[in-house]
Each structure stands twice: as structure tokens, then as C-alpha cells.
Structure 1
Amino acid sequence: MPHPDIALPRLLAHRGLSAHAPENTLAAVRAAHDAGCDWVELDVQLLGDGTPVIWHDATVLRCSDGRGRLAELDLPAARRLDVGAWFGDAFRGERIATLAEMLALIAELGMGLNLELKVNRGRSAAALVESALPKALDALPPERLIVSSFDDDALACAREIAPPSRLALGVLFEGMTRDWRARCEAVSAFGVHADWRRLSRRGAAAVKAEGYALLCYTPNDPAAFANRWGWGVDAAISDDPTCYTGHLP
């Protein structure tokens, strides 16, 4: 089945330009844009009140001045968190971004988005998809949106909402399991998103032979990653795409 005509860049900024700004924030996306990145990869999940926000962890401990689980917060409580000071004083006062705010910024900047549906333990895949996906589909054209997940239920729910011609889905893998083809076929996937350290030449060749786009996360050493381009990798999702200057094939 046809997929959106996506012109994948060689590099996507992982959680925004997360080597230089606090991850998954509006500041990180602005930094990525300023650095010349055309696409960013971001995580979305729900607060306890059902608001979709851009966040990776199940808790707020690592990337804020607070404690507790994201599922226990409503939006006013989440807004009180400083999600920038942990990274550096220049980002003090940065607030958690709602999905709506992030989509508005990405649309304004004309960027592409790989939105990862982050289904942490005990959370509902269906609730996340039903809340987040329509907003993303409304905000961005098909050629500037990829939705990915490790969670098969989330991907299945997403495919029920939008056909392959409207929505490109990426199946995330830590390692290429024996059922990788079946997982991709089940949701009419656009691409495979693989851990670059666990991807083999043989696995890459199999993915490309089936016609899937091949994206790798999260290579931050251009020299160590260099041979993967020859394996047919289409794009790298890196914390610091700027380090690849002069190192792309």
C-alpha cells in the first residue's frame, strides 16, 4: 500500500537537539531548527488528567526539579515543574510542553516530526493514541509526520485511525527479533527503527529487501556509525546531528 511521500533526511534530532538543550522541550526543538535540522524525534505520553505532553520517562525525577510519576500529575501540577534547570542555567524556567504547543511550533518552523508513542508500564496504549494522534494528523501534513512505537497495541490503534496513505508508521526494535516482518506487516509499516548497536549487516539487508525505510537510533559517534550507511541505513536519529558535519556519505 502507498505511504506518504516522505523525503527522509539523513539526520533527525533525538528528543530535539538533546546534546545541547533539555530533551523533549520547546527549547530543544528551537535549538535543532537553529542548527539546521529539518526533523526532530520526540516522545508523547499522557498526564494523569489525560493531557498529552512531550515527555519520555514514567517519572519526572530525571528531567525536572520534581518527583513522582507523570501519571499522577495534572496539567497545572506539571506546569509548576522546571524542566530546564537540570540541564543548565540558560534553560532555567523551561516548562513541560503539551503536544498541542509542540505541534504548533513544529508547524511554524516547517519541520518534520517523528512522534514516538511512549507507553510506559500500566498506561493505556489506546488512550494515548486516541488523544495524541488526531492532533498530530491535524497539525502536520503526511509527508512531515512519522509515528513510531515499541508498543504493538499503540501501532495497531494508530493504524485503525489512519490508513498507510495518510500515516507513516515506524516499528521500534531494540534487537531485530524473528517476528520483525510480521510486526511490520501487521500495521503496514513505513519503516523499521533499530538500535544501531544491535543492527547487523544481514538484518539491515533484510529490512531493505522488504522495502522498508531503515532508521537507526541513537548514534552519536559518526566514525563508529560510518559503515552502517553502506548497509542501507536511510537516517540516523542522533542526540547531536551537528557532529556529523563532514561525515555523511
Structure 2
Amino acid sequence: MPVSSRGEASPGAHHDAPPALIAHRGLSAHAPENTLAAVQAAYDAGCHWVELDVQLLGDGTPVIWHDSGLRRCAGVGGRLSRIDLASARRLDAGRWFSPAFAGEGMATLDEMLALIERLGLGLNLEIKVGRGRDAEALVDAALPPTLQRLPAERLIVSSFDIRSLRALRRMQPNAQRLRLGLLYDRPPRNWVAQAEALDAYSLHVDWRRLKPSLARDIAASPYRLLCYTVNDRDVYHRLRDWGVEGAISDDPLRLDPDQAGAVSAGH
């Protein structure tokens, strides 16, 4: 894709192309995942798209967090669904990664959207529905503020949870269709029917479960093909040869420094 400095799309670029590289949970190879610091680090490194996870606290506040529990990234026991915002504010979401990030807080969706808007980044927001959680409640809480902050061309919303994707499609904005991504470990045999039913934009697939023949089938379809979590340069270029258009990576600049800042042409 032809790009100008810092990844701005130049005239004539494909208007529906996905970003070539997306920083996984922010620049998570260099900063604690899903934090404001990780997104700032991605921007400072020259990345223009980030992938982040959104879930609900027990009080209904949408926050940027991957796990259902708190142990791995906050160092305390308990579940996200059982704490409120006041409790979340007391957590340290950075010390586990490095003492340099001690005191980094759990970001609310609103705080993260404000930063992404200010930096002009693109966002792949994953709707993360834990076991026993209400998919529609999460969509109701997360989608409106996201659409208010970010234009459609700088947003892809993805999920493993079909209920969430259906709810997202029902809430699509009137002016431009919301770009939905179907997340799969491995696409099922009926992936075409699922994508058609949701009017999906993209399929996001674990690269370790992807075969060349399936990659080429998806690449030949109307749907964009992205892979996660790609951290090896040789793997990345092999996937590109198969027709994969975008990769989600902990360290995008390691894969291709020239493409790490590339954005979809609508930006």
C-alpha cells in the first residue's frame, strides 16, 4: 500500500485494505499489555494500529483487560467480574511486566479511547466475553462510546463470541457499516456462511492453525484475512505470500519496520 510519512495513506491506495500490522494489546513486547503505556509505546515506536480487549467490571464499567482473572497482570487474586471501578483503581497493572511500569493502572475504555483519539491511532477492539458474562451488556456499554470517538475507517471490532457480533451488527451506525472481524482459533467449515450472516469485514485466525490452502481460499473471498499473534519475521512474510493481509504482533516493527505504520486507506 502506498503510504506517506508516518503511515498516512496516499491517494489511490485501496480504500478497504486492512492495516498490514497491528500492535497486539498495544506494544506488548515493550510495555504491559492493554495499558495506556502500551498504546503510547506503540505510537512512539511508529505503529498506527493497536489491538485491545474490552470487558466489564462487576459494576458494568467497560475496561481494557484480557483475562477473566486479576492474577497474571495485577498480581492479586479475584475475578474482574467481582470488582468495581473503585477497586480497579487500586490495582497495579504494570509492575508484573517491569518495575519501570509500577503504578500503571487498569485503563477504562473511556480513558483508552481518549488516548487513541488524541494520537490518531486505528483500533481493533476485541469484545471479550467471559464464561457466564452478558454479551449484549458488554456491547451496549462498549460500542456507543467507541463509535462516538473513532471514525469507521479507524475501527475494526472483533470477537470469538458470535452473540456479540450479532449484537454489534444490530447496533451498526447508519452512515457507515461497522467493520466486524470474526475471531477463530481455526475457521470452521461454515466460515463463509458465518461471515455472510454477519456481513463481516475480516477473519482473524491463529496463524499456527492456518494452512496455505485455507489462507488462499479466504484471500480469494470478499473477506479480509488477518492472523494473530505473529512475532517471527519469516513467518510473517510466508503468511503474506499465502494472501494474509494483516498481522497482529507483540512487536510489529520487528516484522517489518516499513509497514508498521501503515494504516487502512480510509485514514
TM-score, length basis structure 1: 0.95
Structure 2 residue aligned with 1:49: 59
CA contact (8 A) 1:52 1:128 kept: yes
Classify 1:7/1:181 alpha carbon distance in 2 versus 1 (closer, same or farther; 3 Å). closer
Structure 2 residue aligned with 1:161: 171
Question: What SS class does the counterpart of residue 63 from structure 1 fall into?
Answer: helix
Post-superposition shift, 1:136?
0.6
CA contact (8 A) 1:63 1:83 kept: yes
- Unaligned regions of 5+ residues in structure 2, if any? 1-14, 260-267
TM-score, length basis structure 2: 0.88
Structure 1 residue aligned with 2:115: 105
Question: What SS class does the counterpart of residue 62 from structure 1 fall into?
Answer: helix
1:223 aligns with 2:200: no
Q: Provide the rounded CA distance (Å) in 2 between the counterparts of 1:24 and 1:137.
A: 19
Post-superposition shift, 1:166?
2.8
Classify 1:118/1:93 alpha carbon distance in 2 versus 1 (closer, same or farther; 3 Å). same
Structure 2 residue aligned with 1:18: 28
Farther off after superposition, 231-240 or 218-227 = 218-227
**Residue correspondence of structure 1 range 98-247 to structure 2 within 5 A:** 98-162=108-172, 165-245=176-256
Structure 2 residue aligned with 1:40: 50
Give the letter aligned to residue 39 of structure 1.
W
Q: Provide the rounded CA distance (Å) in 2 between the counterparts of 1:118 and 1:246.
A: 29
Q: Provide the rounded CA distance (Å) in 2 between the counterparts of 1:98 and 1:45.
A: 10
Q: Provide the rounded CA distance (Å) in 2 between the counterparts of 1:29 and 1:118.
A: 18
Give the letter aligned to residue 204 of structure 2.
H
Post-superposition shift, 1:181?
1.0
Question: What SS class does the counterpart of residue 200 from structure 2 fall into?
Answer: coil
Give the letter aligned to residue 41 of structure 1.
E
Moved over 4 A (4+): none
Post-superposition shift, 1:9?
2.3
Post-superposition shift, 1:65?
2.7
Report Cα offsets for 1:18-65 as digits up to 9, x if no partner.
Answer: 010000000000000001000000000000000000000000110013
CA contact (8 A) 1:7 1:143 kept: no
Question: What SS class does the counterpart of residue 129 from structure 1 fall into?
Answer: helix
1:27 aligns with 2:41: no
Classify 1:97/1:246 alpha carbon distance in 2 versus 1 (closer, same or farther; 3 Å). closer
Post-superposition shift, 1:179?
1.4
Question: What SS class does the counterpart of residue 72 from structure 2 fall into?
Answer: coil
Farther off after superposition, 19-28 or 225-234 = 225-234
- Unaligned regions of 5+ residues in structure 1, if any? none
Structure 2 counterpart of 1:69, from 72, 79, 86: 79
CA contact (8 A) 1:190 1:212 kept: yes
Farther off after superposition, 59-68 or 113-122 = 59-68
Post-superposition shift, 1:182?
1.5
Q: Provide the rounded CA distance (Å) in 2 between the counterparts of 1:23 and 1:52.
A: 16
Matched positions, count? 244
Q: Provide the rounded CA distance (Å) in 2 between the counterparts of 1:168 and 1:246.
A: 26
Specify which structure has the bigger relative contact order, considering alpha-carbon pairs within 8 angstroms and separated by 6 or more residues: 2
Classify 1:15/1:157 alpha carbon distance in 2 versus 1 (closer, same or farther; 3 Å). same
